[in-house]
Chain A
Amino acid sequence: MTRAVPLATRTLLAQRRRLIASVLGVGLSIMLMLLLDGMWAGVRAQVTVYEDNAGASLVVVAPGTENLFSDSSVLRSSTVAQVAATPGVRWAAPVRTMYTILDLHDGRIAASLVGSVPGKPGGPWRLARGRAPATDDETTVDGTLAKRHGLRIGADLEVMGREFRIVGLTTTGSTFMTGMVFLTHAAVQQLLSAPGTTGAVLVGTDQPAAVSEALQAQGLTVRTREQLRQADLALMTKVFGSPMKLMVGIALLAGTLVIALTAYGAVVEHRRDFGVVKALGATTSRLSRLALVQSLAVAAAGVVVGLGLFAVGRELVGMWRPQFLILLTGQTITRALLAALVMAVLAALVPARRLAQLDPAAAFRSLP
């Protein structure tokens, strides 16, 4: 009988419209998990974009500074010459990095502000159009930010009370919560009324370990690119990690309940059939397996639908809000598959219990 009658599949397929609704429900839950996971992967990839592209092996910062944008590092301008004179240093470039709030016509948004010396490293690294700022009244903004808020080359952008003319757009730089704005180092000094200071010194060297040691011996605080990346990731995980896990957990719960509802519905509707099966000698464990097979089938179909919905959703989100980078990694897919398996097993418990309690005499009664 096990081989001959695919009871689990047949009872599931008996009501196609209901099956479609449940597969769609599970698919949406899987899609939600994939999107959250993908967004989180995107956030982690984007948050270190400046450190990854600034070209510096080492960065000299003020004591206690661990993140370039969250901590406000202040150094004397003379530090740049001191760093440049250190043996093994190929180049040293001052930068001011901080967050700022832009007041745009369609909303207030946070931006990562970078002030660099024209012609030196630390400024915009990949230009889609235009050029990097050359004078103290010019700015280059990231293309995603520009597209989202209708900023064009030649237009003015207000930063901390001063107007800057947009002269270039970059291809990368936006994260899902902040855009990127580049000014000259002198312009940021003026905005902060802080002449004679800089924020950090980017260091180019072929001997990072030796140079780092030499700089620290002079009393300077040095961070490697990797240390800054890890500090950014740690901060981001601290802020968003717990809420993100919570949301994924609730999506998992929603998916589990949808599968349970489907499998339970099928059992209730076909309890007379199951009663016949039990009266014919089927054991409780056979019926429990049946509930599990139904749950697994719905979960498997849900994964396929979820992946499809995710692909469509990712494209739509990318078109609607390009600042949301959503990555699909092998780990993300593995986690979704595991989640579906967990959902299926948990969801099977409710109908399995109902089947275990089923009275074989139900087979010989009329339905109420």
Chain B
Amino acid sequence: MTARLSRGVPLARRVLFAERRRAALSVAGVAAALLLVLLLDGIFAGAMAANTYYVRTGPADVVVSQSGVRTMHMSTSVLPAGTLEAAREVAGVQWAAPIGFTTGIVANGTGRQLSYVIGYDTTSGRGGPRRLDSGSTPELGEAVLDRIAADQLGVTVGDTVQVIGTPLRVSGLATGGTSIVNTTTFVSRDQLTRLRRPATAYLLVKAEPGASAERVAAGLRVALPNVTVQTRTEFVASESRITRDMSADLLRIMTLLSFGIALAVTALTLLTVTLTRLRDYAVVKALGSSSLRLVRTVSAQAAWTVAAAVVVAVAAAELLSLLLSRLLPTVQVLVTTSSVGRTALWAAVVGVLAALGPLPRLARIDPATAFREAA
């Protein structure tokens, strides 16, 4: 009988979803709590992707920076004189391109944007924007802005903006360089020297066809012992690690709190469902079902609640990501598989803990309750 009941009557699901409005409230409540974690994780993942965009999508296989400097974000790098010439001599190097780098404000009458300002060799184009959406490479007195930043400032090709206090004409628009923190502006190396300093900040190195990035990086480390040499993968990992390390504590706090809320909502749902259906459970028990079967029923309810909540939370996060990309284009939300996996794992723990709540009450159920008139 019990076995047939197990296979034939989906008791857990039926009881849970008997009151659809309540079930919807439960799932939405847990989903809202999980959404907090997914969203915060997504915002940091978005910031990480944006911070690494320039090097990640660029043609360089190896990045050379000042000794002890492994990143661009919130960093300053100055390479010793002669680094470029020495790098070009290393076996396996196809080309080495110096870039200048600083941070500053890009502004006009309507707004201001914190920006990386990259000075590159406009003749070769190496170190410049990956692709121009419109316009042309910057000459002296000109700059290429990121499209999102340009939109926010209300400027387009041909307009003038203040780049670190100097009026420059917008010669072109690029994409992918704006994050929640800052944007990216490209100028010629000569222009950056006039704006700030003549120094080379980083060296971008391309390996010859057939030469591996690791081998070229090893050669550069030998030839240039007083600088930091990283392959593109290593450099991107370094940049990502800053965002990850800086956000880790905040994420832990939010996860813990969201976990608490999700736990309270799930426990509340299971308790309410169990209490309102005690008579049904008594009937099941009177028909010969064991306490273990009832435990399985409550566990299945917990699983249904959190599984539905995870699906709703992921869908809501994706929807919010889409909405934010339209309304607040600088806030990029990336819902990653690992983030969803982590959240689902947390949700599973929530389900297990919440299921413990009604168990003592179920264990005490008297099958005779089934034959009494309801109060």
Q: Does B19 contact A (CB under 8 A)?
A: yes
Structural contact, A257 and B32, CB atoms closer than 8 A? yes
Q: Does A182 contact B (CB under 8 A)?
A: no
CA distance A269 to B22 in the complex (A): 11
Q: Does B40 contact A (CB under 8 A)?
A: yes
B contact residues around A264 at 8 Å (CB) = 21-22, 25
Given A65-B165, A71-B105, A161-B69, A24:B272 Cβ within 8 A: no
CA distance A29 to B228 in the complex (A): 47
Q: Does B267 contact A (CB under 8 A)?
A: yes
CA distance A262 to B275 in the complex (A): 13
A contact residues around B197 at 8 Å (CB) = 74, 194
From A31, A32, A258, A350, give the contact of B268 (CB < 8 A).
A258
Q: Does A70 contact B (CB under 8 A)?
A: yes
Closest to B46 in A: A243
Q: Does A176 contact B (CB under 8 A)?
A: yes
Closest to B260 in A: A28
Chain B: interface residue total (CB-CB under 8 A): 74
Q: Does A119 contact B (CB under 8 A)?
A: no
Q: Which of B2-10, B52-60, B131-139, B249-257 lies on the face that meets chain A?
A: B249-257
Contact with B along A6-18 (1 / 0, CB 8 A): 0000000001011
Contact with B along A59-92 (1 / 0, CB 8 A): 0001111110011101000000000000000000
B contact residues around A99 at 8 Å (CB) = 74-75
Structural contact, B164 and A261, CB atoms closer than 8 A? no
Structural contact, A269 and B164, CB atoms closer than 8 A? no
Q: Does B296 contact A (CB under 8 A)?
A: no
Top 9 A-B pairs, shortest CB-CB distance: A64-B165, A161-B68, A63-B165, A25-B264, A161-B67, A257-B29, A254-B32, A367-B374, A99-B74
Which residues of chain A have a CB within 8 Å of any CB of chain B? Answer: 15, 17-18, 21-22, 24-25, 28-29, 31-32, 35, 62-67, 70-72, 74, 98-101, 103, 107-110, 158-162, 176-177, 191-194, 221, 235, 239, 242-243, 246-247, 250-251, 253-254, 257-258, 260-262, 264-265, 268-269, 272, 313, 317, 321, 323-324, 350, 354, 366-367
Which residues of chain B have a CB within 8 Å of any CB of chain A? Answer: 19, 21-22, 25-26, 28-29, 32-33, 35-36, 39-40, 43, 66-71, 73-76, 78, 80, 102-105, 107, 112, 114, 162-166, 180-181, 196-197, 199, 228, 238, 241-242, 245-246, 248-250, 253-254, 257-258, 260-261, 264-265, 267-269, 271-272, 275-276, 279, 320, 328, 331, 357, 373-374
